[in-house]
Structure 1
Amino acid sequence: MEPMARVRKTLAEKIDVAHLMSVGVLASVCPRALIDEVLAQTERASKRERLLPAPAVVYYIMAMALWREAPLEEVLRVVCEGLQWLSRGQAPAVQASKAAISQARSRLGAEVMEQLAERVLSPLAAPGMPGAWYRRWRIMALDGTAMDVADEKTNAAFFGYPGSSRGSSAFPQARVLGLVECGTHAVVAAAMAPCSQGETTLAQTLCVKFKPDMLVLADRGFYGFGLWGKACASGASLVWRVKANLKLDVHRQLPDGSYLSEVFDSADRQRPAGQGQVVRVIDYTLKDSASPVQDSYRLVTNILDHEQAPALDLAALYHERWEIEGVFDEFKTHLRGASTVLRSKTPELVRQELWGLLLAHFAIRQLMAQAACTQGLDPDRLSFTHAVRVIKRKMPQAAAIPP
């Protein structure tokens, strides 16, 4: 039997209004004026008239996340026809080869996309949005994931392969750490590095993104005296799980079952009372869970007043941290689809593609938050997969199309 020939997937020859509107969704997140400003700041603006001007390349990189199933030239065609429609025919028609697209991406680099993400990614939940707030705090989560990248020599040398009990992994991996708004699933800040770099190291760079109105949840892998202190200095409220064997003396028992204690730097062998950092500790066990063994949890928080946030509330709230796993699934599975590996073949373009992926995800989540807000709904009640289909195939009623 002869092997079946591979069929090259294409998008419709005639781009319909749905595709044009989907480009509009991306443009609503990154307006042309903002792109021009960032291009000027990074000195990446086109110095001469090119077949692929830099702003079009920016939108193209974001669009790669929406049309993972299509060849690069097809994605570019959709983007450029969409930009023509948005500009009422003022934008130039573009046809470019895969080599020309690669050269244009290399000229742009990763810094432009990173700076755009720095300017664009932000919390979406308005005060009082269902599922997004606890009292005066915006519920946030901090966690990381790994992304497979193309198995090229330059990628392997830079990102490295993750450890495996059965030899090396099939693909090099980039580590991505995200700060996520749990109620809207919006990634509000991110950091990326080779897979050999730990999440706690990356977290040092994200602490500066914490704000006083945030309540940041994190798993036990993140706790360390230095990182905890830096996170507290941001003014944010923290609820982090710690390992059960962390020695925490009871200094004062509180009415809600929690207690005050102190944490110290591991290098401090003396640990004199009153010289550490005061924390509130919440110990609890999950009963009737799916696990055959009862799960014991120990949380530490810098909310020392039990009346501001009772222990039972914080114990229930901590499990909102799992929302971030759903976020990673959204851009690792639902956006990437059957294409499980990032397309880019060099570390610089991998970083560029990752920032574009995060921006595209934010555009979708912003549209969903706007739709939920108009109906007074929790954004969790909306389907991310359906939203992607709407943006790609239908005319979204809530899409913000720039004039």
Structure 2
Amino acid sequence: MMLPSSDFFMDFQQDLLDLSNLFNFSDVSSFTQNIPIEWVESALRLSASATIRRRRLPSDQVLWLVLGMAMFRNEPVHEVARRLNVCAQGLASDNLLARSGVTNARKRLGSEPVEWLFRQTGTHWGHERYPEDEWNGLRVMAVDGALFRTQDTPELREHFGSGNTSSKRQTPFPMLRLVALMNVRSHIMIDAQISPYRRGEIPLAESFLSSIPDNSVTLFDKGFWSANLMLTLTQQDVDRHWMIPERKGLVHEVIKTYSDGDELIQMKVSPQARKKNPDLPETWQVRRVTYQIKSGTKSVMTSLPVERFSAAQVSELYKERWEIELGFRDIKSAMQNNAITLRSKKTDLVYQELWGLLLCYNIIRREASMAAVSFDRVPSEIRFKPVCDYIAVQLIVMAAANPISGTGRRLSELRSGIGSLFLERRPRPTTPRTVKISKTRYPVDRYAAPLK
């Protein structure tokens, strides 16, 4: 989002500070259970460049800067640092930071502490219980993938790759792949994997199957169809189920018909899958539910047993898979202002930026969920963008009120005003899908002059 002018912020900060009896910015007790300072300290110990030098940008402030980058996408990084006042006490806090100093500070921090802190939030917050967060006794999860673009530099194109095909057509930007596991009811990202474009979604999803809780059902997009993935999910732990749309042209045999549109089918496991995992059976059986939609019929495959869950329940539940799509929309639209090209130009900083984006998303979602609960509402009833905008302004207020506060302290001061946002149940608007950038048959020359 584009930040308003400095004069606007001075006036707006004063207005908010005058309302301190309503928005208690100095109360640190309300948020300490969210980001314990111990988490921050543990994350920073992972930084590869430990130092005793008194730097202008200490590591805990750089971590705060990475979160600020996620909130203020249209601002240059050094300007975000200045607005959030992340300099150490007494170290040129009134002067502009050199751009190279900000970049070097980010390099010293690296991506690993930010990734670790994101996983901590997913582990602890993603399994929290909220009102109406279960479906017939099961937690509802979703897995899906998204693509992000990077700056077009030789280093990033070499590492992340692009959408090349056999005809040497390629995307104008290097691409990286994100696959995430979301709690559908709270929208918290429980786990995620980031990789270069060429790595497939299924191997990435297989890496975090252990993060899926017992007594749950996980909703997949059809691109995740894999006997190994589905069978591994159901064989691990207790009462874990899945649901996925039927693939076009799937060869199967009907074993049993439960009712109209509700069948048990049998399929062969491919030789490639059995070569990868010799423990897989030669055939496997799944339940297929077919139901009416506006454009005709739709079939979903599931491990949910017919004795416990009707076909109507199954078909209604799969509609919630779109909640993870809304989560990706919130990240790309509300937080990134539709700027899907990440700003970093070094490989490790690209990972740092995207992990910081996911971490910041979880913080906002957790705050929205807690605010909703305080009003006896469910997390889905508070809209993401107003909360995101509120926190963005509050960061500026906190920087002015307490400029030397570290990451742990600042994160402890975010929630107080969110609960006062007006909660209103509204139908979700429908928006057209984004048109993908077309590939070109010619090699990409990043130095070519733009067409006029």
Using the TM superposition, give the Cα deviation of residue 48 of structure 1 relative to its aligned residue in structure 2, in angstroms. 2.6
Q: 1:8 to 1:144 in 2, by over 3 A?
A: closer
Question: Which amino acid in the other structure matches residue 16 of structure 1?
Answer: Q
Using the TM superposition, give the Cα deviation of residue 281 of structure 1 relative to its aligned residue in structure 2, in angstroms. 1.4
Runs (5+) with no aligned partner, structure 1: 1-6
| Matched residue, 1:72 | 77
| Residues 241 and 302 in structure 2, CA contact (< 8 A), matched pair in contact too | yes
Partners of 1:10 and 1:167 lie apart in 2 by 43
Counterpart among 279, 289, 302 of residue 283 in structure 1: 289
| Matched residue, 1:242 | 246
Q: 1:42 to 1:247 in 2, by over 3 A?
A: same
Question: Which amino acid in the other structure matches residue 159 of structure 1?
Answer: F
| Residues 21 and 391 in structure 1, CA contact (< 8 A), matched pair in contact too | no
Q: 1:233 to 1:146 in 2, by over 3 A?
A: same
| Residues 261 and 291 in structure 2, CA contact (< 8 A), matched pair in contact too | no
Q: What does residue range 2-401 of structure 1 map to in structure 2 within 5 Å?
A: 16=13, 29-80=34-85, 93=93, 96-122=97-123, 123-124=125-126, 126-127=128-129, 129-130=131-132, 132-163=133-164, 167-235=169-237, 236-254=240-258, 258-267=262-271, 279-287=285-293, 289=294, 291=295, 294-297=296-299, 299-304=300-305, 306-337=306-337, 339-393=339-393, 397=416
Using the TM superposition, give the Cα deviation of residue 217 of structure 1 relative to its aligned residue in structure 2, in angstroms. 0.3
Runs (5+) with no aligned partner, structure 2: 18-23, 275-279, 395-413, 420-452
Using the TM superposition, give the Cα deviation of residue 78 of structure 1 relative to its aligned residue in structure 2, in angstroms. 3.4
| Residues 225 and 263 in structure 1, CA contact (< 8 A), matched pair in contact too | no
User: Matched residues, percent identical?
Assistant: 24
| Matched residue, 1:4 | none
Using the TM superposition, give the Cα deviation of residue 365 of structure 1 relative to its aligned residue in structure 2, in angstroms. 0.5
Secondary structure at the counterpart of residue 251 of structure 1: strand
Q: CA RMSD in A?
A: 3.5
Q: 1:244 to 1:171 in 2, by over 3 A?
A: closer
TM-score (norm 2): 0.74
Question: Which amino acid in the other structure matches residue 77 of structure 2?
Answer: L
Q: 1:319 to 1:163 in 2, by over 3 A?
A: farther
Question: Which amino acid in the other structure matches residue 119 of structure 2?
Answer: E
| Residues 368 and 418 in structure 2, CA contact (< 8 A), matched pair in contact too | no
| Residues 11 and 70 in structure 1, CA contact (< 8 A), matched pair in contact too | no
Using the TM superposition, give the Cα deviation of residue 367 of structure 1 relative to its aligned residue in structure 2, in angstroms. 0.8
Partners of 2:181 and 2:159 lie apart in 1 by 24
Partners of 2:50 and 2:90 lie apart in 1 by 19
Cα displacement string for residues 133-182 of structure 1 (whole angstroms, at most 9, x for unaligned residues): 20221111100010111111111111122248994322211111111111
Partners of 2:348 and 2:281 lie apart in 1 by 45
| Residues 186 and 380 in structure 2, CA contact (< 8 A), matched pair in contact too | yes
Q: 1:346 to 1:11 in 2, by over 3 A?
A: farther
